Amino acid sequence: MLLIYGGGAVMFSFHALYRREKGPAISNWTHWALDSTLGFLALTPVLAVILPSALWVLSQRSGRPCRSPR
């Protein structure tokens, strides 16, 4: 959760504060929280499918099963 909202803060500061792009007529804090929450809700399910699929493809190519580190 910290990475999601931290990454949202970095992206928000770059686009809204550094580049001075105009967004909706809401406070900066609300804008950041809204963008980060929508990113979390939209991207987490996608990553939950992409990451295991990528590991499976890599294990098929290498001929060795991927194991978790111990």
> Residue 59: what pLDDT?
82
Looking at residue 27, the DSSP 8-state letter turns out to be -
Structure tokens, 9: 């803060």
Q: pLDDT tens for residues 41-65?
A: 998 899 899 998 888 888 888 776 6
pLDDT value at 70 more than 60 = no
Q: Vertex 29, ends 39 and 43: CA angle to 5°?
A: 5
Least confident of 24-28, 30-34, 36-40, 41-45: 24-28
pTM: 0.62
Which candidate, 38, 42, 43, 51, places its Cα nearest to that of 12? 38
